[in-house]
Amino acid sequence: MSDKSSNQMWGGRFAAGPDAIMEAINASIGFDKRLAAQDIAGSRAHAAMLAATGIISDSDAETIREGLLTVLSEIESGNFAFSTALEDIHMNVEARLKEVVGEPAGRLHTARSRNDQVATDFKLWVRDQFDAFESGLLALIRALVDQAEAGAEWVMPGFTHLQTAQPVTWGHHMMAYVEMFARDLSRARDARARMNESPLGAAALAGTGFAIDRHMTAEALGFARPAANSLDAVSDRDFALEFLSTASICAMHLSRFAEELVIWSSAQFRFVALSDRFSTGSSIMPQKKNPDAAELIRAKIGRIFGANVALMTVMKGLPLAYSKDMQEDKEQVFDAADNLMLALAAMEGMVKDMTANVANLEAAAAAGFSTATDLADWLVRETGLPFREAHHVTGALVAMAEKKGCDLPDLTLAEMQTVSGAITEGIHDVLGVHNSVASRLSYGGTAPVRVREQVARWKEILA
């Protein structure tokens, strides 16, 4: 077969033949250029350590330091020409450094490998994302606490199976999400602490014969310690997987809340009004106000879940230590991080701006026999009926109210006593929705006094 026909088989995009295909599949500069700042920070720390241990001269280290700052300035200003032929950010930076400073650039890579270099760069980048993740979560938690404080006494329906169950307070509902996102915060902090070990100095896989000081570079880069095993240091991507797994759980929480906001803002519910900043109109229906930000949060979660599965799949069959498969570790993490931060910021904005329709919330809370459990509990407390018998009496009263087309508080005492003579006028103390929520005084309950306690606790934590 001729070279020409072979090239046609590869397709027009790769008219130059197999070499072009290998360059395209091998190069990562298209995405790993996002690691430029981390790569240069790692190189600066490495050069300073090489000089401190006498492996290179102080003058070469200073020349390298200044050259790296020049390269970083070029990248940050957009005046850097990235080359696919140089494969990745590491080789692009090193090649430009050689153009800037000459011979000393060749000494920078002493006692390290691209394997420990990329692991260090990627860890630094993911660590920054954990910090941004924490900031986004704290901002969202603050917005939720503010909503809870404002609506500690507002009554709304609590749901199970999306059916009206028992009345709760708006503040209690907001604080439920505070607890969810607080667990996300705890997971993020925990994972960040666990990942904070430096791979730099592990070299290709076995360490190095040079008398380097790995504790020095670890400290310079803000790591708690150097990684203890060189094989593990270059082959570990648990830190990226933990970022994706914690991000996935948080994304699930965001999606649950987004779904509630979509439902609550509908014409059928009218529980909340979302601000115009996070809504759009319809091109054909002038009455529409669509909760697009909430819907997009709900959808973007799939990208984060997908990234988690993708990287788990990449890593699952790799023997120690480094394999080229691990070049596929970054794009998914970059995309997931971008979308997580965007979703967190959008949710914070919606929570800060949304307005509760207090009248509609209360009306909905009173519908659907939502105080039936309060009635059954009252029968147990005040008349001594076993709960199962009280449950039966309450069911009969619900059926009576349903037949009459009214709610439980609308039944007269005489009507109730036809079902159970033990019922007294005191029953009306628990049947109203405000009475119901006020009675839920157990720790973690929906009573306004308990909500305010939790708000105060969280305001102290956040302060």
Domain boundaries, the chain: 20-107, 124-211+223-362, 368-431
The percentage of residues in the chain with a pLDDT greater than 90, rounded to a whole number, is 70
Q: Distance (Å, rounded) from C-alpha 119 to C-alpha 200?
A: 8
**pLDDT above 90 (res 222):** yes
Lowest mean pLDDT, pick from 7-21, 62-76, 130-144: 7-21
With 80 as the cut, is the pLDDT of residue 382 above it? yes
Q: Is 161 a catalytic residue?
A: yes
At 407, list the tokens.
Answer: 């709610």
Domain covering 368-431, topology: Ribonucleotide Reductase Protein R1; domain 1 (1.10.40)
- 18 has a pLDDT exceeding 80: no
**What are phi and psi for residue 12, nearest 5 degrees?**
-60, -30
pTM of the model: 0.88
Taking 50 as the threshold, does the pLDDT of residue 286 lie above it?
no
Class of the CATH domain delimited by 20-107: mainly alpha
What are residue 272's DSSP bridge partners? Answer: 356
Superfamily of domain 124-211+223-362: Fumarase/aspartase (Central domain) (1.20.200.10)
Q: What's the pLDDT at 2?
A: 45
Please give the structure tokens belonging to residue 270: 């009218």
The residue-averaged pLDDT of 337-346 equals 95
User: 136 exposed, middle or buried (CB, 10 Å; 0-12, 13-18, 19+)?
Assistant: buried
Q: Which residue has the tokens 């009573």?
A: 447
Residue 44, helix vs strand vs coil: helix
86: confidence class by pLDDT, cuts 50, 70, 90: confident
Domains 124-211+223-362 and 368-431 share a fold: no
Q: C-alpha 196: how far from its chain's center?
A: 19
Q: What's the mean per-residue pLDDT of the chain?
A: 90
Place of tokens 């001594």: 384
Report helix angle 448-462 to 114-150, nearest 10.
Answer: 140
Per-residue pLDDT averaged across 101-109, rounded?
95
Higher pLDDT, 141 or 328: 141
> Given pLDDT bands bounded at 50, 70 and 90, which one contains residue 283?
very low
Catalytic-labelled residue, pool 59, 83, 186, 282: 282
- In this predicted structure, what is the pLDDT of residue 12? 54
Active-site choice (5, 77, 161, 442): 161
Percent of the chain with pLDDT over 70: 94
Higher pLDDT, 410 or 297: 297
Lowest mean pLDDT among 7-11, 80-84, 96-100, 441-445: 7-11
